[in-house]
Every structure is written in C-alpha cells, then in structure tokens.
Structure 1
C-alpha cells in the first residue's frame, strides 16, 4: 500500500498545474514545512511540486578539498553516528539490524565500519553529493517497501532500512578503504535517482538488480550523485573512520563530518 501511495503522490507532484494554481501549491508547501529558499529560486519559478522538491542550489557551496576530509552528502539530521559491532548497526537507539542484509554482501569478519544515518525531511535540499573522491565498483538495487523513515517510524518498525527499497553504492576511497553509500526509499519518495546509472527504475514493482563496473566510475568529492523525489535517508558506512559529528546534529551538504584514516 505504501508503494502505491508513493507512486500516486509522485504522479501528483509531477503535474504542471496552471501557473496561478502551481504557485499557490508551492507557497503552501514552503509555508507548511518552513523551507528556507535563500539559496534557491523563488517558489513561483518551479513548474511542478517535484521540481520544487528537487531544486538545485543557485551557487555551489564551498567545502574542504583536503583529500582525507569527508563531507556531508546532504542537508539532513544525523539520527545515529557510531561504529558497527559484529556487523550490526542502529537505525535508532535500541533498534539494531544486520548490515550484511542491508548491503547485500557478507562483510569479512574482521572488518568494521563507522556509520552515519542522515535523514532528509520534506523541507531539506533533496539532492545528494559525493562525500569524498570515490571509485564506484558496483551498484545494487533492492526492491522493497516504502515505509516512513522519520524518527517515530525508526522506533516502531524493526529492520526498517532493510525492509525498504534501497540502492547501495559500493566504492573505494582515495586511501584504498571501503565506502558504502546507501540511499533508502521512504513513503512518498516517487523515485531515487543516481545519475551514473540511469537504468535503475525505483518504486516499480521490480526485484533486485546488480550493476558491476569492470572500470570503476570515478566521482569527485562534492559531485552531485543524484536526488530523492521527496525526503528520505542516506546511510554511509566508512572503513577506518571516526565521525566528528554526533547523533541529533543538523548538518548541511558540504559540512565536514570527519577525517579519513
């Protein structure tokens, strides 16, 4: 049912209503969610609600270009930030899950990661960027549910990230260590887009898919990776990394999250 609701909402958000009506819809949305448009076009300039959701920054944000500095890929709330233990991570305090299930891979027993859960609310900038220089070796798509991912839902539904539709990027970083970039679908997310792999069609009643690249896809830090059509969650798993940011912190894309080993 949540998948159907999300498809219907996505269809509505893609309709270009007459200008006066669309401008009104946009103003109401901005007012309800207290959206700050100071870095974006005025709400009246967006011809659909989806274009307002997926708005681009008018000017690039500066970030620390030092190779071992990891930056936030999104504007978001950090709901959890810690180290995995026996390949388990928290979706929220008291609710752990197996990262092997989430990633679709059996991680070697002696390998643990730092993880950061970044929740994008409906008011946030919905595009996501590379947190560091990346060599993408594989992209995995997992069909699933589209349950909400806000904090009340994280406390209610066990294995929420594993149950929901998601896309997993498996990449190596400039230091040779592993990075997993996981985009988790949610209620009212019409689609999850990754520019480097347009064949992936989300929320389309499809099974799992894997795309492996003999020549890895090179992505530079800060480069736009894709976007959510509505809010959702990014989960980062970073090998040999200690986050400098804590749960409950609001961050913006380009803000420093910590230093790579």
Structure 2
C-alpha cells in the first residue's frame, strides 16, 4: 500500500493549521461550512449515535465532492463500522469486514490518509474497487481520526465523480477530521460516564436487595456481590443487574452461589 502524500514519518497527518497558506485555497463556501461544522459538533450532552451522524452529515456538507460518508472505529485490532450516510458505505464496509482488506481498514489501522482518484483504475484493493464502481462510487478519501496517542479510526468520504477530491478538499478534510476526532472522543467519554452511572445505580439496587434479605451493611452486601461474581465468573454489574431485576443470581451451569 502506498499512502497518500503529505504524511509525517509516523503515519500521522501534519497539523492542519501548521501551514495557513494552504488554507487560502478554500473558498467562502468551504469556510462557512467548516464554521457550521465546528459549532454543530459541540452539542451539550450529545449521545454517541447522534454525534456520529452529525459528523457524517457535516462532512458531506463541508467537503467538496463528498456525496456519502462513513465513520469507522478501529479497536483491539478490529475494524468496526459505526455510522454511515448513503447507500454505498454499508455494503463496502461489510465487504471489508469479510475480506479483511480495503482502504477504510488501512486508513484506520495505519492512521494514514488514503486517496483513490479513480476506483476503476486503482489496483490496491481489486475486490473493493470493483464493488465500489458497481455501487456508483468512483473516488474516495479516507482520513484518520486520532487524538494525542489514541487512534480512533477513520472518516471515509465517497464520491460519484472521479477525481472528486482536490488539494483544497484534502486540507479541509484534515482540519475537519481533527474536530471530528475530538467530538467523537468527547462523546465516547460521555457515553462511558453514563454507563458508569448506570452500573453504580444497578449495583446500589442489588446491594439494597442483599441488605434487606440478609440484614447486612452496605459494605457486606457488596462483598457478597463480589463473591457471587467470582464464583459465577461474571462481572459484578451482570450479577447486580439480575439480582436487582429478579431478586435472584444469574444461573450459570456448574456454579451455584449462595442465595
């Protein structure tokens, strides 16, 4: 694979604002779209799904030539499509997951920007390119999403026209990806925080059941939950969720925790 030019030696993109002269190629329309984009991504209490869709909808509006888009995460060595705009990205994502090969995977894994000027003539991913053309996609731009040392995945832009992404579109995509990555990380943290709150609540409910049933303190009730968790080889939250909902521990073959 030969990544698109303009990358740093470690595969990451150079800072989008390090060369302000390069941004002069952007017209008023692109700057206006970028302004809307930056404001729309910072929505208080935005849920993860809503944030992902906002990123993709803003991308197709802000970046000239982009007709469809997809956002992918790469975690634990796995390529995980998260959200799409348009009909082609889901099919192309599924193909990449099946074959383990494609521009979105490479951009996510290696954190490089990948540009396909003409899918009909690109030879790097033959099966992917053939399917893209069949679906009416003739050009692509995949931009890595990362924050500090966290490699999040990639943003993939799809165009019906060949040669759709010029240098100005690439620069705007790099700048856009920075904002998109920050918004995605913020949404992930908010989602994780909410999950932590939910887990704390359900554990509190389960502790209440144990305290009522066995007349024990809160600390003793939590110790009982941890003991059941270890015996059942389940997370404490899973044990707590079953206990809070049914008053009983989960039933696992070969394991029978105390009532």
Larger Rg: 1 or 2?
A: 2
Per residue, is there more strand in 1 or in 2? Answer: 1
TM-score by length of 1: 0.29
TM-score by length of 2: 0.30
Per residue, is there more helix in 1 or in 2? Answer: 2
Query: Bigger relative contact order, structure 1 or 2, given CA contacts below 8 A and separation 6+?
Result: 1
